[in-house]
């Protein structure tokens, strides 16, 4: 049990605790030193603050109009086009999209990008996630903001997800309960939660999530009811689930993977996609698939590294 408690953190960056590099044990050290923080009002408040600052320094934010084409000329990016038909020329482009999507789908006419996409597609990708979001009547001061509900198995469960590509009968649940720290994220007298379980990505587990999703959702809620909230079903005010096919459809995530490249030793740090393309010199990458890796601290670190490169190159 002690080994489980000190190893599950790697699951939160897409790694299998049984074979992920021990470098990810640094997560414990970083959390101990820096703490674990929550943005009052939810992560959207953090996003809103970043947008406000970006606009204050002269940036323009366009939303609801995804990029469909990154234009290139030889080994240089020249601009972007969006779904609505809008286009513009740029001195440099940074993509925070899925790395396969960025190369394969957004630069279909660039030979280097296509070769890069094929090379990346041969690598191992992290699992998907199945997340049940639900709001319920009542407040639950005894349920912590963060909680892991371990199942009856550990290594066997991980093998099913990472190796065998099956949907097991049992699961371990990460339960997120922000209302206990920040009541503003739910109406008075109510609580908001999400329950997250790792599942095999769509390359290993090609199931119909429209069919499987409601079944797995009920099993997860049943387990939370059995262990923490006995009358959970009668208390639910709202709920929805988010599955690997949603990651693929909404976020263009390769194989519906939630964390991009699996953080093996040979796919970590410098071995991940570089923050600046090695051939297209003004094409930059940021996010889960790039150095240093996935998870919110990882992608923030990636953003800092990419921004530093852009400032150095474009100054």
R_g of the chain, CA atoms, integer Å: 21
Q: How confident is the model at residue 84 (pLDDT cuts 50, 70, 90)?
A: very high
Counting every residue written for the chain, the total comes to: 315
Q: Is 138 left (phi over 0), alpha (psi -120 to 50) or beta?
A: left
Domains detected in the chain:
62-123+262-314 (3.50.50.60), 127-251 (no CATH)
Pairwise pLDDT comparison (208 vs 269), residue with the higher score: 208
262-305 per-position pLDDT tens digit? 999 999 988 999 999 999 999 999 999 999 988 888 898 999 99
- Is residue 305 within 8 A of residue 275, CB to CB? The reply is yes
Q: What is the pLDDT of residue 239?
A: 98
List, in order, residues 6 or more apart from 78 with CB less than 8 Å away: 71, 72, 89, 90
CB neighbourhood size of 85 (10 A) = 8
pLDDT (0 to 100) of residue 296: 83
Taking residue 19's Cβ as centre, other Cβ atoms within 10 Å add up to: 13
Q: Indicate whether 65 pLDDT > 90.
A: yes
The β-bridge relationship of strands 87-89 and 173-176 is: unpaired
In contact, 176 and 145? CB cutoff 8 Å: yes
Q: Are strands 146-149 and 128-137 parallel, antiparallel or unpaired?
A: unpaired
Long-range contacts of 101-108, Cβ-Cβ distance < 8 Å, separation of 24 or more: 101/252, 101/253, 101/254, 102/70, 102/285, 105/252, 106/67, 106/68, 106/69, 106/70, 107/69, 107/70, 107/72, 108/69
Per-residue pLDDT at 315: 83
Instruction: Please report where in the chains the tokens 């996935």 appear, as a residue.
Output: 294
Rounded to the nearest integer, the mean pLDDT of the chain is 94
């Amino acid at each position: 049990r002690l080994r489980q408690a000190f190893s599950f953190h790697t699951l939160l960056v897409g790694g299998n605790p049984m074979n992920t590099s021990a470098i990810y044990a640094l997560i414990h050290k970083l959390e101990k030193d820096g703490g674990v923080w929550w943005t009052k009002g939810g992560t959207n408040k953090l996003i809103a603050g970043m947008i406000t600052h970006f606009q204050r320094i002269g940036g323009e934010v366009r939303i609801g109009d995804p990029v469909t084409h990154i234009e290139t000329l030889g080994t240089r990016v020249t601009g972007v086009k969006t779904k609505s038909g809008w286009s513009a020329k740029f001195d440099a482009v940074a993509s925070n999209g899925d790395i396969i999507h960025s190369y394969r789908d957004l630069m279909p006419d660039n030979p280097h990008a296509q070769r890069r996409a094929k090379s990346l597609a041969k690598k191992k990708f992290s699992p998907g996630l199945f997340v049940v979001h639900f709001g319920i009547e009542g407040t639950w001061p005894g349920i912590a903001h963060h909680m892991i509900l371990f199942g009856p198995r550990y290594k066997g469960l991980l093998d099913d997800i990472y190796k065998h590509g099956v949907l097991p009968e049992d699961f371990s649940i990460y339960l997120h309960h922000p209302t206990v720290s920040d009541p503003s994220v739910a109406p008075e007298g109510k609580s908001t939660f999400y329950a997250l379980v790792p599942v095999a990505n769509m390359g290993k587990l090609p199931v119909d999530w429209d069919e499987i999703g409601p079944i797995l959702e009920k099993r997860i809620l049943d387990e939370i009811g059995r262990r923490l909230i006995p009358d959970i079903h009668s208390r639910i005010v709202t709920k929805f689930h988010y599955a690997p096919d949603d990651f693929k459809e909404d976020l263009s995530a390769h194989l519906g993977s939630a964390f991009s490249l699996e953080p093996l030793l040979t796919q970590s740090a410098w071995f991940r996609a570089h923050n600046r393309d090695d051939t297209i010199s003004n094409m930059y990458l940021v996010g889960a698939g790039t150095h240093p890796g996935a998870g919110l601290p990882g992608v923030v670190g990636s953003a800092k590294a990419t921004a530093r490169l852009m400032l150095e190159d474009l100054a």
